[in-house]
Amino acid sequence: MTKAATTFETRLKTTASDVETLLSSLLSDAPLVGEIARPAQLMAAMRHGSLNGGKRLRPFLVVESTLLLGGSAEAALRVGTALECLHCYSLIHDDLPAMDDDDLRRGQPTVHRAFDEATAILAGDSLLTYAFDIIAAPETKLDAAAKMELVLALARAAGPGGMAGGQALDLAAEKQAPDELGVMTLQAMKTGALLRFACEAGAIIAQSSVEDREGLQAFGRTIGLAFQLADDLLDVTSDAATLGKAAGKDAGRGKGTLVALHGVDWAEARLEALTAEAVDLLAPYGKKALILQETARFIAGREN
């Protein structure tokens, strides 16, 4: 293993642990200023759906892109944790019976199985709402202008023109398989938009130049494509035990993926090319970019 890979693994674990600690504290039963009360069952469902030992890749991207550009790591951790709340909301709602109808997530019962459907809907709604609270709260020590840009970029990445819209396209794809452009739009929205935001957030937090922000956006978009391609490849080549969820279900339900359209060999070559492109995009930052470049390699090579 290279030195960069070892450093990457250590830092990924450290950030995951920091996110877990901050999330635990943010999702306590004690109401904040301006809150009336926090229902215990709802908070338990929110914790169940978010404190589940994930890799916390999105917060990691926020933290590392912020460090690359010289911004505050403390603010980045809070923004990353807000993004993780929003990501977890999307998983809770995706798992609902009316959506993907999944019983397991990371080997544990999904929120609607562990609690009930209504509680899962509300826990998702609450995590989504809370993401904006965390960014706007005084504990996130950033200029109001930077917070505002973060709120806007996050809302746009997550809303009807981003992640939620991508999920709607995904539902439509079950009825009629999309063409290649349709698949790419769906993926850019459903998984790409939040990953792009995660990288762009670093440039907003560090109040960097337009060039830096566009560079990080391009990096985020590229690893987003790689992430989805790796996911689709895993779905074909892996088994349920490694994935922690039902494998082969995308193909089984007739959804179009780039792997289905072009085959495994093409997809593997494309994944390699995307990884090289992502690494190149950060070349101007020299050694400071090693960790983010390693993250791009990790995304291409991950096993779940």
CA distance 204 to 182: 30
Rounded to 5 degrees, what are φ and ψ at 109?
-60, 140
What number of residues does the chain have?
304
Residue type, position 272, single letter: E
Would you count residue 185 as binding a second copy (CB under 8 A)? yes
- In sequence order, which residues have a C-beta less than 8 Å from that of residue 287 and are 6 or more positions away? none
Would you count residue 109 as binding a second copy (CB under 8 A)? no
Return the range that interacts with a second copy (CB under 8 A); candidates 14-22, 57-65, 169-177, 250-258: 169-177
Is 54 in contact with 193 (CB distance < 8 Å)?
A: no
Nearest of 266, 268, 271 to residue 223 by alpha carbon? 271
Total Cβ atoms within 10 A of residue 86: 26
When the beta carbons of 152 and 240 are compared against a second copy, the nearer one is 152
Would you count residue 116 as binding a second copy (CB under 8 A)? yes
CA distance 59 to 82: 8
When the beta carbons of 135 and 206 are compared against a second copy, the nearer one is 135
Q: Which residue has the tokens 């080997």?
A: 107
Single residue of 11, 55, 113, 156 touching a second copy by CB under 8 A? 156
Would you count residue 128 as binding a second copy (CB under 8 A)? yes
- 3 state DSSP class of 29: coil
When the beta carbons of 146 and 281 are compared against a second copy, the nearer one is 146
Single residue of 70, 160, 284, 301 touching a second copy by CB under 8 A? 160
CA distance 196 to 213: 11
Would you count residue 96 as binding a second copy (CB under 8 A)? yes
The distance of closest approach from Cβ of residue 136 to a second copy in the complex, given in angstroms and rounded to an integer, is 4
CA-to-CA separations, 95 to 54, 166, 210, in angstroms, rounded: 16, 15, 38
Size of the site for a second copy (CB under 8 A): 65
Would you count residue 113 as binding a second copy (CB under 8 A)? no
Would you count residue 211 as binding a second copy (CB under 8 A)? no
Return the range that interacts with a second copy (CB under 8 A); candidates 69-77, 189-197, 225-233, 285-293: 189-197
Binding footprint of a second copy on the chain (CB under 8 A): 31-32, 34-39, 41-43, 46, 89, 93, 96, 98-99, 116-119, 121-122, 124-126, 128-130, 132-133, 135-137, 143-145, 147-149, 151-162, 164-169, 171-172, 185, 188-189, 192-193
